[in-house]
Amino acid sequence: MLTVLSVCGRYLRAFIIIYLCLYSGNGIASLLPITIPGSILGMLILFALLASQILPVNWVKPGCHLIIRYMALLFVPISVGVMRPYRYSQRPVWPDRHLLRRQYFCGAGGSGRWRPAVARSSSAQGAER
């Protein structure tokens, strides 16, 4: 039972240190006149503490291993959240080839004729005039 408590205590200590660095970075970022993300400043603070050996590596190692183990799982929702607004605000870089092929051969209305949709749309514009 003692080993379970000590392992849980090590994980708790690691996460408390990581979050303290994160929140101190956020606090410093709010005080700076330039825009720097607080998470970046928090990582720099954690790096400075570890590099100067003020903070022992063994104190942060269990939490870091746990975060790195599940890093791919943690980044999926973030990347989807970042890409969702980008998809609606930008035109696609590569057009959908199946859509272009269907419009070229079948036309936008799907008439089944083998003529380009571009030629039909230009003839339709002439008929409207």
> Could you report the per-residue pLDDT of 95-107, keeping only the tens digit for each?
555 555 555 555 5
pLDDT of residue 58: 92
19-31 average pLDDT score: 94
> Does the structure show a pLDDT above 90 at 85?
no
Residue 53, helix vs strand vs coil: coil
pLDDT value, residue 102:
57
Q: Tokens for 23, please give them.
A: 């929140």
Question: Residue 81 burial by CB count (10 A; 0-12/13-18/19+): exposed, middle or buried?
Answer: exposed
Amino acid 86: pLDDT: 54
Instruction: Tell me the pTM.
Output: 0.56
